[in-house]
Amino acid sequence: MEWFYADESRVQHAVALEELPSLVAAGTIRGGTLVWNESMADWKVAAEALPDLFPIPLAPPLLSPAQRRDLGYQAGPGFPGQRAPVDTLAVLSLVFGILSLLACGPFLGLPGVICGHMARKRAREESLPSSNGGLSLAGLITGYIGLVFYGILFTIYIIFIVIAVAADAGTTGSPLTP
């Protein structure tokens, strides 16, 4: 069967079916080259009309952000100065940490620490530079300080209660007798 292909200047060339593999190997006929034979209604792209000569290339699996970082890849098609978006967990960690210092102690300190650890893990896996690592670290620090501060405050409170009970137990008699 005789095949026809059109080169870059749209000139048509007639070739035998047996010649097609050598033309593909030489690069004369590429996947985007238009080809036709008598059995076809219209011209088609060679990769579509001759799929045996143009196997689908197998792409390697995509690397995870951590693997790209380990291999030293820079951010792919990013623009200079492009940064990763701010992670909500990092912001929540910082907000909870600050609020734990101001008023709510362990009720917001513990969620601040949890969010901080989760955000730090995400920040280490990012391929683009970002402020997420710093935000989550600040949230961790303020959350831990809030937990320790209110832990110490609670311990002092318990000590004062124990001292007050012990001092009251040491007195004898009723409070009305001198």
CATH class, 2-49 region: alpha beta
pLDDT at residue 176, as a whole number: 58
Element (H, E) at 37: strand 34-37
Task: Tell me how far apart the alpha carbons of residues 68 and 126 are, in angstroms, rounded to a whole number.
Answer: 9
Beta-carbon contacts of 40 under 8 Å, excluding residues fewer than 6 positions away, are 49
Token pair for 2: 């005789």
* Structural domain spans, the chain: 2-49, 84-170
Q: Rounded to two decimals, what is the model's pTM? A: 0.50
Q: pLDDT tens digits for 50-88?
A: 888 887 765 666 777 777 667 765 555 555 556 677 888
Q: Which of 36, 33, 40 is nearest to 10 (CA)?
A: 33
pLDDT digits (tens, 9 = 90+) for 106-151: 888 999 999 999 999 888 887 666 778 888 999 999 999 999 999 9
Q: Which residue has the higher pLDDT, 43 or 54?
A: 43
Amino acid letter for position 133: G
Closest CA to 5 of 33, 25, 31: 33
